[in-house]
Amino acid sequence: MPELPEVEVTRLSFAGRITGAKVVSAHLGKALRWPLGCRVTQLTGRFVQGVRRRGKYLLIDLDGGLLLVHLGMSGSLQFADHLPAAGSHDHFEMVTSRGSLRLKDPRRFGAVVYVDSEDAPMACKLLGKLGMEPLSESFEVGQFQAQLKRRKAAIKQVLLAGDVVVGVGNIYASEALFWAGIRPTLSAARLTRARAAKLHAAIRDVLTRAVAKGGSTLRNFSSASGVNGHFQFETMVYARAGQPCRACGAPIKTLRQGQRSTFYCPKCQT
**Active site (catalytic) residues:** 2-3, 56, 260
Report H helices in the chain.
4-18, 121-127, 141-149, 155-161, 170-180, 193-212
Secondary structure E strands in the chain: 23-28, 48-54, 57-62, 66-70, 76-80, 90-96, 99-104, 111-115, 253-257, 260-264
How far apart are the two ends of the chain, measured CA to CA in Å?
28
What is the Cα–Cα distance from 55 to 133, expressed in whole angstroms?
A: 7
Please give the DSSP secondary-structure letter assigned to residue 37: S
d(CA 131, CA 160): 11
How big is the CA angle at 164 (ends 160 and 167), to the nearest 5 degrees?
Answer: 50
Q: How far apart are CA 268 and CA 252, in angstroms?
A: 10
199 contacts 180 by C-beta, under 8 angstroms: yes
